[in-house]
Structure 1
């Protein structure tokens, strides 16, 4: 809940522009297109145009593509300010993709060139982006440190809105850390800045955060007053999503303090607002809060009722795109069928017209009639052949679509999606998760061509796919040079730890074997752990079958604590497979954020 507010402030500058021109997003998009046309008409050489229209680019893939072009051109001209800006854009692309470590790498490069350029504005911007990224990864200490550096820089500039935003974000980090006095000091300072520049929407977010701070202090009256002041402003701008979020936050605070009646009132108010404006995320969140509250009130039937609604709205958000795409396919099919009916009716009308003409023009002779009949026969035959070929094409495309779906999802999951239009998350009590990672991949990637690197990774992963299929494992995904698979899902199997270990052995043997010319010889380490997970589909645009749970995190730690050329397994997996596989005890090793674990190398 606390993480929601920092998301809102990432868009303060955009809101400022919108507040000045009203609801004119189409004009903004048109302005972006106009700048893009100016850039291309200049021969693609004007970096100011390129940087300007990239600000409006929401697609991370497009942002990454333009960012790389921007960086290349900026480096050619040796303009340090533009180089800093280009690194910043690429960092945002990786951040939007969820690759925070990669984003930080580019943001620090941006900072380096911003400092070389001497631009205080660019330096302040870089510090904010670094702080925002640490905040997203929940590294509170670093986030606060870089927010404070950005504040020191921005205090020397004239951009009060940027300064206020940085101060607000620092205060929000202190709130997340539980340092209420510092949080209060920073948010009140941001509020004063927004008041001076008459940035009403920024003031609303400050009031909302002040409400949360006073709620943490236990000052119910002041908390409600600040939240309600924020709501009045947010309603003016029709910002209903943050209103509902603030109400849910207050409900959660009072639930933790066991003030159940106050918690119930705020959650119900949030649900009413979210339902009125169709905010499905907030409807789901409010229903979950109401479920917890009624559970605390020992009202099991009400708790179950609201929990079911929470699941219903959560799944509807996750699967709405899938349902729409399937509906579009059905609509296209029905339209083609209706068009065939229309064509047949038109053919019948043509035949009737020909017959009428034949009766009136019999005097022109039998020869003309035979010619017309022959033409009609040829047309009908051609139509029959066309329809037959079309039906064959449709059937082939249907089979191809089915196969593509099975390449993305397990067969059982795909069947469930086709039947019900959505997929429920499933819990598995014993699944074995495997992670691989190539040694020195990042450094090699800088030394060899991208084409050779992709060809090499594909060569390895194709063989890993074959081994995964051989042992009945489920490939989950690849993340850069890391390959992730699991045994024991979507169909549970008691032998899944043994199958995963055998697959790991074959993968390691293949990696160590000689490679054809042109293929990079990588060294690899593997980590394996067994435990419970939750599996299901994430995303509404590009489906992905994924797994979650502490088991996944521990398996990843097993890989990072392994050594090149070795397979590292957890003590839990070892207890299952020790009768069939020879292992070497490594001792008890501390894993970051997971305590001390026994580890074994597979001999």
Structure 2
């Protein structure tokens, strides 16, 4: 199995929010891996575990991190039962990134440390590269960019030593995230541009779209809207071709922000229509909620208060469906401000 779990960019735009997971905690993983192997689990085939892992990867790419965790845990139990350490490492990659998407950092750190330990024990240099990159993502989420940068420099050194092009591109891309966190936007742009050359060599469309979205973030922070729109547009085209819904939605969010900033409101509305359709096709209520909230904000910006009220009301209904009381309160407050106008 080829390592294909890619790091999510620091999402610097609007409406970050994720579904609450329904899976076990880090302690559950330990209990699961150290319980006696039953006869039924012993009969589970490697093919079944591989299928679960592929399903988990698809679920993660489609924005269903909670479902990816469930699939990953099932695969992990089988791989542990048959003693496949390399496959366990791949599964920990998926679990780690899924936990990060769900903002469950404790569980994420646990599985990432396990993944790195397996890679080091087996002198798996590619596993070390990806493990270190994943840990750097966690450190960025925790607000520790300096520590993340040092971790990535170690990953980059290993990648260059063993001439791992995929790992070098990933490490450079994530060093760009560190530069953005430190406010070094020009440095971030250069890192992303270099990373793209490696991503393209490996013919990795998901990685290329992710790095392009990161580059779009850097241009956006630098207020270079022309380059921002061009870069997010390139990410969107690649993501559409590869059916990479995660990067597709992220590119649309960037384009909506950038087009709105330069007064191209109709283009922003057209993109939001695409976003809402994708969310509904995926039956992803969280992403649908983000789409409705984006619509409401844009119409409010345009002083079209009847349309803004309509989308806020629809978003509130979805927040209630998701039992997200915090989001419901935020939306209700925004709606009350609209009603007063």
Fold similarity call, TM over 0.5: yes
**Counterpart position of 1:35:** 79
Q: What is the distance in 2 between the residues matched to 1:6 and 1:80?
A: 33
Whole-Å separation in 1 of the counterparts to 2:331 and 2:173: 32
Structure 2 counterpart of 1:280: 325
Partner of 1:165: 210
Q: Which has the higher helix share?
A: 2
Q: Distance in 2 between matches of 1:262 and 1:72?
A: 56
Cα 1:149/1:212, change in 2 over 3 Å: same
1:121 and 2:121 matched = no
Could you say which residue in structure 1 is the equivalent of 2:121? 73
Instruction: Please provide the CA RMSD for this pair.
Output: 3.5
Q: CA 1:179 to 1:285, structure 2 compared with 1: closer, same or farther past 3 Å?
A: farther
Matched residue, 1:104: 149
Distance in 2 (CA, whole Å) between partners of 1:285 and 1:266 is 14
Distance across 1 between alignment mates of 2:292 and 2:56: 21
- Corresponding residue for residue 17 of structure 1: 58
How far off is 1:161 after superposition?
1.5
2:249 counterpart of 1:211 = no
Quote how far apart the aligned CAs of 1:275 are: 2.6
2: CA distance, partners of 1:92 / 1:180? 26
User: Does the alignment pair 1:131 with 2:176?
Assistant: yes
Provide Cα deviations, 1:277-323, integer angstroms capped at 9, x if missing partner: 3333432332343344456x2xxxxxxxxxxxxxxxxxxxxxxxxxx
Deviations 1:6-65 (A, max 9, x none): 888xxxx99861268x96753332112223344xx36xxx5x345323212431441354
| Residue matched to 1:240 | 285
Whether 2:273 is the aligned partner of 1:228: answer yes
Cα deviations across residues 187-236 of structure 1 (Å, max 9, x unaligned)? 21112212322335543443443333332232333222210121011111
- Aligned pair in 2 of structure 1 residues 216, 127: CA closer, same or farther (>3 Å)? same
C-alpha separation in 2, matches of 1:252 and 1:198:
27
Which residue pairs with 1:3 in the alignment?
13
Secondary structure in 2 aligned to 1:218? coil
Q: Deviations over 1:398-446 (max 9, x none)?
A: xxxxxxxxxxxxxxxxxxxxxxxxxxxxxxxxxxxxxxxxxxxxxxxxx
Structure 1 residues 92, 202: CA separation in 2 closer, same or farther (over 3 Å shift)?
Answer: closer
Distance 1:86 1:275, change over 3 A: closer
Q: Does residue 63 in structure 1 map to residue 111 in structure 2?
A: yes
**Aligned to 2:201, what secondary structure does the other structure show?**
coil
User: In structure 2, how many angstroms separate the alpha carbons of the residues matched to 1:4 and 1:36?
Assistant: 40
Distance in structure 2 (CA, Å) of the matches to 1:24 and 1:54: 11
Contact 1:63–1:93 at 8 Å: present in 2 too?
no
Are residues 1:151 and 2:196 paired? yes
Within 5 Å, which residues of 2 pair with 1:257-272? 258=303, 260-272=305-317
Looking at structure 2, the residues matched to 5 and 147 of structure 1 have their Cα atoms a distance apart, in angstroms, of: 24
Q: State how 1:478-497 maps to structure 2 within 5 Å.
A: none
Q: Distance in 2 between matches of 1:186 and 1:16?
A: 26
**Number of equivalent positions:** 282
Deviations 1:480-515 (A, max 9, x none): xxxxxxxxxxxxxxxxxxxxxxxxxxxxxxxxxxxx
Query: Residues 64, 203 of structure 1: CA spacing in aligned structure 2 closer, same or farther, 3 A cutoff?
Result: closer
CA distance in 1, matches of 2:125, 2:68: 34
Aligned to 2:38: none
1:139 and 1:95 map into 2 onto residues whose CA distance is: 15
Q: Are 1:174 and 1:180, in contact at CA under 8 Å, matched by a contact in 2?
A: yes
* 1:192 aligned residue (234, 237, 240): 237
1:26 aligns with 2:74: no
Q: Larger % of strand: which? A: 1
Deviation of residue 137 (structure 1)?
A: 5.7
Distance 1:51 1:108 in 2: 21
The separation in 1 between residues aligned to 2:194 and 2:131, in whole angstroms, is 21
Distance 2:55 2:156 in 1: 23
**Structure 2 runs not aligned, ≥5 long:** 1-10, 19-53, 100-106
Residues 204/92 of structure 1: CA separation in 2 closer, same or farther (3 Å cut): closer
Provide closer, same or farther for how the CA distance between residues 195 and 163 of structure 1 changes in structure 2, counting only shifts above 3 A: same
Question: Does the CA contact (< 8 Å) of 1:201 and 1:234 recur in 2?
Answer: no
